[in-house]
Structure 1
């Protein structure tokens, strides 16, 4: 960190143009809405090469024509994050940036800015400066900044170092997918080698205490590091479940290089659930739940993961997300203490009924976004499972509810029944299965999960600025009503109805 500016600085030596373009690719993998990258350097220093590397990686098109915006001042690209390439060399005065709409562009996209010194004080305070200078036959890149954009770029460069250590320093990186957490995934390709996946799983930021001096993530037993993924993945693979193979790992920093299980999603071409696939996934769950699982799993020599219990505190604090976030959203006023107390009492009574429920390894998010369908395989190998690091030891019915009431896609009652029936039939074959207890636990866990998700989706909108999740709320309310129809949940159902949480009044 420089004493004068308070900004952090890191350097990269770039021996040739390929290395400069690769730095652009690394920056592209880190870009998010609102990021501004200032490209600094003399004529011929490599700014255009670097900008071209960023833009082509964002567009996933290595041959994309990237004209210099010297005369137009700005050139825009419809990429994963809308990207705007500025060349301010001919800018008449800093005030012209207002006419170009830099602020509006950063509100919905990211910006690369050449000749940023001509902008005066009009650039954002957290702009990341990438200065290129000649260094012998190559160049030296000096990256300076503070804030989230700089930290993401620094982590992206650390990921390149990780790939170098794994013998793939010159691999092509492309954004693959992300989720509601801080995890993200990229594809990694090299000539003559199958595509692999680079998993970026930073250590969980626990947040402030919310109850009994503990943060939410600790109470809910959310995995805090990638060690959980490695340990649970090894255990599942040993049981015949198709999970990603790990080729290289950095458990401290949270980087994994893993196999690519396939590109065919679990849904059909129109994004609808397929009865056959849901049944196959339910049968896989039945095989998992019929086994005995230890609570301590080895990730690597000297690295262990203790699988937490899905206990009362975790179930309650998850369900209470409905009160914390969904109730204020639906009623335009915070939940009162009477509602909170009644909610806890009703849920404690429901959780009491889980005492006799079967407990097993619960993958926790076993639904369509996390399942790959591999039609060319047979048996359980048709299903690739890619997300399981938050697994707990708890009521096995939870995973069945996660599958049969998929939060991301509407599962009609007949396909829900197909999945549940397939699970029950498979468990009957293993023997020792209490169907009545399962049906009750299924209803309780479905009600708990969908209460939690109503709160999470509102939180993603209001706290994290992700309004797309709100479109799922009608589906989740419908699932919640289905679950609460079970006779064992009459008391909980009555509470939800009295308080307008179901029944079309919320």
Structure 2
């Protein structure tokens, strides 16, 4: 847990006091892999709000507010921002409660209705997102070059630890060339909003009708890119297993809503983007373990490697699979034991 400085605590207390919340009870909430912090504020009357505290408001708070307004305009549920001090990275937002999809699933909820709701929310998003919103919001373009750049983290954070040496120039160049070859065709189609971290930890069930029952959070890193990315993020989750028949049913559900979309092309895009995402996640989890001692993430590595290996076996990933076969023997993959320190 991040330790707050006295100065930051004083800023926060002043912010709360300015909005009539000096007497609110404060309860820290579990965070994610980012530097953001969240607290639940409970007023004397029992009503609650969420305090958001981010050290990088230009990257977190500003886009969250702007993107959230666009999502709400097309009928999706996002937390309402009730007050914000953008310069200080502090905000008060609506409290969606505790019913994340992941918590409901862990409690024994039937996964099919939850995944259907999440899939339907993506359908609403991809049907309704206004094309003019991308330049208006200055969203980053998730094109082939950006995806290749993101996969490079694997070269920097995973390979030196797994192989005991940094990669040379030819190895790095071959990796980037392989990824460019498979990503460029995938990124050539018509884009839409790409939420980027669309999975059951970032979805809340709300007492609202239709797809508004899916509360969306953690979308401040959204961009403009391939539609298949968020669906594969949902169905190939780094933190929990999704039954293959359920994943297939949801992919079919999505495609049925877009009969003009070529199903084979879309599924190839899911495979390539899924592999790129898994490659980056492997690197992120190892980096968190090695540099920050956050080893709890390592429990998910075997799952992510299984997902990655399944995609590498598909023809669409041929060039990338060849690079992995040449440079990362099986012992340096899922079975690799991450050391306590570098």
Question: Is the structural similarity TM-score above 0.5?
Answer: yes
Of 227, 250, 260, which aligns to 2:85?
250
TM superposition shift of 1:251: 1.2
Contact 2:145 2:180 in 1 (8 A): no
- Cα distance in 1 for partners of 2:291, 2:331 equals 25
Secondary structure of 2:310's match? helix
Whether 2:97 is the aligned partner of 1:262: answer: yes
Corresponding residue for 1:415? 246
> Would you say the 8 A contact 1:457–1:469 is kept in 2?
yes
The question of whether the paired residues in 2 share the 8 Å contact of 1:357 and 1:438 is answered with no
Asked if 1:295 is matched to 2:123, the reply is no
Q: Does 1:286 align with 2:123?
A: yes
User: Is 1:468 matched up with 2:296?
Assistant: yes
Q: 1:371: Cα distance to partner?
A: 0.7
2:224 to 393, 399, 405: 393
One of 326, 330, 345 as aligned partner of 2:158: 326
Question: Aligned pair in 2 of structure 1 residues 153, 483: CA closer, same or farther (>3 Å)?
Answer: farther
Map 1:59-98 → 2, pairs under 5 A: none
Q: Answer whether contact 1:357 1:437 (CA < 8 A) is retained.
A: no
Alpha carbons of structure 1 residues 287 and 296: separation in structure 2 relative to 1, 3 Å: same
Uncovered stretches (5+) of structure 2, i.e. residues with no partner: 334-342
Work out which of the residue numbers 452, 456, 460 in structure 1 matches 2:280. 452
Q: Give the Cα–Cα distance (whole angstroms) in 1 for the partners of residues 299 and 92 of structure 2.
A: 34
The equivalent of 1:77 in structure 2 is: none
Give the CA deviation at 1:272: 8.4
CA contact (8 A) 1:368 1:408 kept: no
- Map 1:214-233 to 2 at 5 A: 224-233=59-68
Q: Secondary structure at the match of 2:157?
A: helix
2: CA distance, partners of 1:272 / 1:445: 29
CA distance in 1, matches of 2:162, 2:212: 43
- Corresponding residue number in structure 1 for 2:233: 402
TM (normalized to structure 2)? 0.90
Cα drift, residue 504 of structure 1: 6.3
Segments of 4+ in structure 1 off by > 4 A? 270-273
Q: Secondary structure at the match of 2:254?
A: helix
Q: CA deviation at 1:350?
A: 1.0
285-294 vs 443-452, greater mean Cα deviation = 285-294
Residues 14-29 of structure 1 mapped to structure 2, 5 A cutoff: none
Q: Which runs of 5+ in 1 are unaligned?
A: 1-30, 33-148, 205-222, 298-304
**Would you say how many aligned residue pairs link Structure 1 and Structure 2?**
329
Residue 318 of structure 2 corresponds to 490
Counting only pairs closer than 5 Å after superposition, residues 234-245 of structure 1 correspond to structure 2 as 234-245=69-80
Q: Aligned residue for 2:339?
A: none
Q: How does 1:17-166 map to 2 (within 5 A)?
A: 32=2, 149=3, 152-166=5-19
Contact 1:450 1:479 in 2 (8 A): yes
Deviation at 1:505, TM superposition (A): 5.2
Q: Which residue number in structure 1 is paired with residue 39 of structure 2?
A: 186
Distance (Å, rounded) in 1 between the aligned partners of 2:40 and 2:237: 26
Alignment RMSD (CA, Å)? 2.1
Measure, in 1, the Cα distance between the counterparts of 2:180 and 2:170.
Answer: 15
Q: 2: CA distance between counterparts of 1:333 and 1:369?
A: 35
Is the Cα contact below 8 Å between 1:174 and 1:186 reproduced in 2?
Answer: yes
SS in 1 for 2:261: coil
